[in-house]
Amino acid sequence: MVKVKNENEIKTLITSGSYKKKRIFSIIAHIDHGKTTASDYLMRRAGLMRPEDAGQLQLTDLDKEFHYLL
């Protein structure tokens, strides 16, 4: 698994013909049930985010300005 942000490792993983370690998956859930927050932690794991920011930045969220919360 890619643990730190390493561009060459990512490129090698994508272009290699080995599928054993590849997964394509999506996260689905209600609005405001933690999809974006959970994604933050996956980004952190991939080395794309500082550990202390995960769960706070909501980096994959395009609508920070607008949320329907009940």
Question: Under the rule (CB under 8 A), what is the footprint of another protein?
Answer: 1, 5, 7, 10-11, 14-15, 17, 19-26, 28-30, 33-34, 37-38, 41-46, 48-49, 54-55, 59-60, 62-63, 65-66, 68-70
Residue type, 49: M
Give the residue carrying structure tokens 């300005």: 65
Instruction: Evaluate whether 2 touches 47 at the Cβ level (below 8 Å).
Output: yes
Give the shortest CB-15-to-another protein separation in angstroms.
Answer: 6
Distance CA 22, CA 11 (A): 13
Give the shortest CB-11-to-another protein separation in angstroms.
Answer: 5
